[in-house]
Amino acid sequence: MSLTVSGETHELTRREAIHLHEVLGRALTERREYLYTAGEHRDDGSYVVSRRGADSAGHRKVFERFDVLVDLYDRLPGAFTADDVGERGLTGGRRHILVHHFAEHPEFDCELVSRQPLTVQKEGKTEG
């Protein structure tokens, strides 16, 4: 079997191809846990944000794709709270889970600046 990556062709044995398939599958369906939250890339392409260690549906939000979560983050102001996330149609504890997830996930360039009210500040952005 041959595989071309960035214009470079590699010959793989069946065993190497199976191993590569398994490794890619794990990378694409990865679950990462952070301090308060967890993020899971599912086989179907969806992305789930959940409260770490929680099993109920009330403690998770499923996004069609990870990019949908990125788009939500991009629409939030420079400093935002759970109420700002709630204005995007999310309710209850899911809002707080998302605020924590934005602060914990390395994809989002922001940090938690207050616990009361729970507030995240985007890097290099001022409020508003």
| pLDDT tens readout for residues 10-68 | 898 889 888 887 777 666 668 899 999 999 999 888 999 999 988 777 789 999 999 99
State residue 125's pLDDT score: 66
Q: How many CB atoms lie within 10 A of CB 28?
A: 11
What's the whole-model pTM score?
0.76
| Confidence check: pLDDT of 128 > 60 | no
In the Cβ-directed half-sphere of 90, how many Cα atoms lie within 13 Å? Answer: 23
Q: What is the pLDDT of the chain when averaged over all its residues?
A: 88
Cα–Cα separations (whole angstroms), residue 12 to 28, 45, 62, 95: 21, 27, 36, 46
Ramachandran region, residue 86 (left: φ > 0; alpha: ψ -120 to 50; beta: rest): alpha
Q: How far apart are CA 16 and CA 84, in angstroms?
A: 48
Contact residues for 124 (Cβ-Cβ < 8 A; gap 6+): 109
DSSP state of 56: S
